[in-house]
Amino acid sequence: MTLLDKAKVAAEKAKVAAEKGMQQGQAKLDAIQAKRRADALLHQLGAAYYAQQRHGGSQDAVDTALAALDSHAAEHGSVDTSGEPPAAS
pLDDT, tens digit (0-9, with 9 covering 90-100), for 57-85: 999 999 999 999 999 999 999 999 887 77
Per-domain residue ranges of the chain: 3-75
The answer to whether residues 69 and 42 touch, using CB atoms and an 8 Å cutoff, is yes
How confident is the model over 28-47, as pLDDT tens digits?
Answer: 999 999 999 999 999 999 99
User: How much of the chain is helix, strand and coil, in % rounded to 5?
Assistant: 80, 0, 20
